[in-house]
Amino acid sequence: MEASRVKLVLEVEDGKVRVVRCLEQRVCRALEERGYLRDDVLSPLEAAFMLARCTAELEGEGCGWVTALEVASLYGSAEAFFVYYDLRRRGRLVFPGIRRGTLLVNYGRSRRVEVKILVEGGLVSIGELLEWSRTAAGDDKEPVIAVVSGHGDVTYYSARAVRGFT
């Protein structure tokens, strides 16, 4: 790990990820402006993203994928983290979704996407996907399904509701 890459030193306390030291104020300001950091508490998924990339380290434990997955478990599944990581790596603004198993992606004022996270080989009914797709579209969000393979690879599918489907 290059010490110069580390921008934040973090700790997990009471199920929250806290910033112990901010080594680059511009990075902390950007995290606050984007809504990832509030009152020295960092979003678990964003903390995990930074730990995986070694731009943050967990005090006394360092950084890397193992540490990132431990911190991501504060939010939910490893699959949710894989999707979050993939989208953030592509430069997207990503936030936890309001519905279970979803993330929200903001592409600016004109395009908002709700991503439903599924595990390859997992069972889900067509009715459940149809209902989720209609609900997301009704909330003015483009529905997208992310399928995570057993290797952590993510594939995205458009999931527009079909009218008149019975």
Domain locations in the chain as residue ranges: 3-72, 78-158
Tens-digit pLDDT profile for residues 11-67: 999 989 999 999 999 999 999 999 999 999 999 999 999 999 999 999 989 999 999
Q: Rounded to whole angstroms, how far apart are CA atoms 84 and 103?
A: 8
Q: Which CATH number applies to 3-72?
A: 3.40.1170.20
pLDDT at residue 3, rounded to an integer? 47
Mean pLDDT within 96-102: 92
Q: For residue 149, how far is the Cα from the chain centroid? A: 17
Question: Could you give the angle at the alpha carbon of 92 between the alpha carbons of 86 and 94, nearest 5°?
Answer: 80
Distances (CA, A) of 92 to 14, 30, 86, 155: 29, 14, 9, 16
pLDDT in tens, 100-134: 999 999 987 788 999 999 999 999 998 999 999 99
pLDDT of 131: 92
The 10s digit of each residue's pLDDT in 135-164 is: 999 999 999 999 999 999 999 999 875 555
How far apart are alpha carbons 71 and 47 in whole angstroms? 7
Do the domains spanning 3-72 and 78-158 agree at the CATH topology level?
A: no
44-52 vs 65-72: helix axis angle to the nearest 10?
Answer: 170
- Domain 78-158 maps to which CATH number in 3.40.605.10, 3.40.1350.10, 3.40.50.1100, 1.20.1250.20? 3.40.1350.10
Q: How far apart are CA 115 and CA 156, in angstroms?
A: 9
pLDDT for 82 equals 96
